[in-house]
């Protein structure tokens, strides 16, 4: 559990943040300059709030009222920055051992060899940072942070400097680490696909304050956070599992609590869990089941809510089994179809809107 209730004045920028999360991975999400790094630095102890309280798993790190302000080295938090910040004159092995040596032997719960295997570092141990790619450096930085035996891990946009291929590679390693080490992780990002793929809980930051907080399904499913989160549109986040593959067409069938979905180029094997993100703009509605249509996903549902999102645009929530799909339609379309609560409808989703980015591994 992560509890934060802090205030800090930074000249023209004022941070007023209060939230509580209950997941293994909490994403601090929002546009650049929203206060994400300022907040994670306060959690780490690199900066001091003017007032408030910070608590991780019942361990109080800061409490202005109680006079508690644990120094950085006593907070036992691993911190991975945007740049790896490895010691250039040390080999990979020595960089990793530096992290391990920070923790007393009695408090070591993460084994060196296990982390080397988990992060695929065995063939890199003799190299120095100057001989590594950007993705390899970040894996070493994550390993060093884990070997310091932290009670929680802070990752501040660790993929920001990597290209798309390296990002996808490192995300896979972070997923393995998340599921294997099982310590709380605070993950800072402004990338929707990273948050959907990794997080249990999301805190949306905007201008130094919390614009929204909740489970990844709740927050990333909202369609009213575009301005705060620097996201053009929300939608729905659905946990699913691959149940079939059609290699000839590069098509996967995904089962979820409302039925099945057809997706393209998922990169996941049969039996693997995935987390589907369907943008509201990619969901169309029909009052009758369509015939002779190219759209591969036709889901029967019932309207659970209709509300005006902004002038001329309506947000429609459609209950499909135990899952809620969101659809953004024009006000004219909503009026023409006379959309209302309880009305049976068909939600139409193109398979090509669900690709590797929209259907990341769920871990």
What local confidence, expressed as pLDDT, does residue 362 receive? 59
pLDDT exceeds 80 at position 67:
yes
User: 236-353: which CATH architecture?
Assistant: Beta Barrel (2.40)
* Buried b or exposed e, range 166-194, using 16+ CB within 10 angstroms: bbbbbbbbbbebbeebebbbbbbbbbbbb
* More confident call, 363 vs 111: 111
Q: In the predicted model, what is the mean pLDDT of residues 38-58?
A: 95
Give the position of tokens 């508690």. Answer: 68
Q: What percent of the chain has pLDDT over 70?
A: 97
Predicted local distance difference test score (pLDDT) of residue 116: 94
Predicted pLDDT of residue 229: 56
Encoding tokens for residue 188?
């800072």
Residues 98, 148: contact at Cβ < 8 Å?
no
Band (pLDDT 50/70/90 cuts) for residue 228 is low
* Confidence at residue 316, expressed as pLDDT on a 0 to 100 scale: 96
Span 238-271, pLDDT tens digits: 999 999 999 999 999 999 999 999 999 887 889 9
Q: For residue 217, what pLDDT is reported?
A: 87
Q: Which residues have CB under 8 Å from 41's CB, separation 6+?
A: 47
Mind listing the pLDDT tens digit for each residue in 72-105?
989 999 999 988 899 999 999 999 999 888 888 8
With a cut of 60, say whether residue 117 has pLDDT above it.
yes
Residue pLDDT, tens place only, 277-287: 899 999 999 99
Q: Delimit the domains of the chain by residue range.
A: 2-224, 236-353
Which helix (H) or strand (E) segment is 203 a member of? strand 201-206
Q: Are domains 2-224 and 236-353 of this chain identical in fold?
A: no
> Looking at residues 183-200, what average pLDDT do you find?
90
- Give the span between the Cα atoms of 249 and 254, in whole angstroms: 15
For residues 173-193, give the mean pLDDT. Answer: 88
User: Per the CATH hierarchy, to which homologous superfamily does domain 2-224 belong?
Assistant: P-loop containing nucleotide triphosphate hydrolases (3.40.50.300)
Average pLDDT of 28-44? 92
Residues 6+ positions from 104 with CB-CB distance below 8 Å: none
């Amino acid at each position: 559990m992560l509890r934060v209730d802090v205030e800090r004045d930074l000249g023209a920028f004022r941070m007023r943040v209060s939230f509580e999360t209950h997941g293994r991975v909490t994403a601090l999400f929002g546009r650049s300059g929203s206060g994400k790094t300022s907040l994670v630095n306060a959690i780490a102890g690199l900066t001091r709030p003017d007032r408030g309280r910070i608590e991780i798993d019942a361990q109080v790190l800061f409490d202005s009222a109680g006079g508690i302000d644990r120094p950085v080295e006593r907070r036992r938090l691993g911190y991975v920055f945007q740049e790896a910040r490895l010691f250039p004159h040390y080999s990979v092995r020595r960089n990793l051992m530096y992290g391990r040596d920070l923790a007393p032997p009695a408090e070591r719960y993460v084994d060196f060899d296990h982390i080397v295997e988990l992060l695929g570092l065995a063939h890199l141990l003799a190299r120095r940072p100057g001989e590594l790619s950007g993705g390899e450096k970040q894996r070493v930085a994550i390993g060093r942070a884990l070997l310091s035996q932290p009670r929680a891990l802070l990752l501040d946009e660790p993929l920001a400097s990597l290209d798309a291929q390296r990002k996808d590679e490192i995300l896979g390693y972070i997923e393995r680490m998340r599921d294997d080490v099982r310590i709380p992780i605070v993950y800072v990002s402004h990338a929707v696909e990273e948050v959907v793929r990794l997080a249990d809980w999301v805190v949306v930051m905007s201008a130094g304050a919390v614009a929204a907080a909740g489970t990844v399904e709740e927050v990333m499913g909202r369609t009213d956070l575009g301005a705060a989160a620097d996201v053009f549109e929300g939608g729905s986040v659905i946990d699913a599992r691959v149940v079939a593959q059609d290699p000839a067409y590069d098509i996967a069938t995904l089962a979820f609590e409302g039925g099945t979905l057809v997706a393209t180029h998922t990169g996941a094997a049969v039996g693997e869990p995935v987390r589907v993100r369907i943008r509201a703009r990619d969901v169309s509605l029909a009052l009758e089941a369509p015939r002779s249509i190219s759209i591969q996903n036709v889901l029967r549902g019932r309207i659970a809510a209709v509300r005006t999102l902004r002038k001329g645009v309506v947000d429609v929530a459609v209950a499909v089994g135990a899952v809620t799909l969101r659809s953004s339609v024009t006000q004219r379309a909503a009026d023409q179809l006379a959309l209302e609560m309880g009305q049976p409808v068909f939600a139409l989703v193109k398979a090509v809107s669900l690709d590797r980015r929209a259907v990341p591994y769920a871990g």
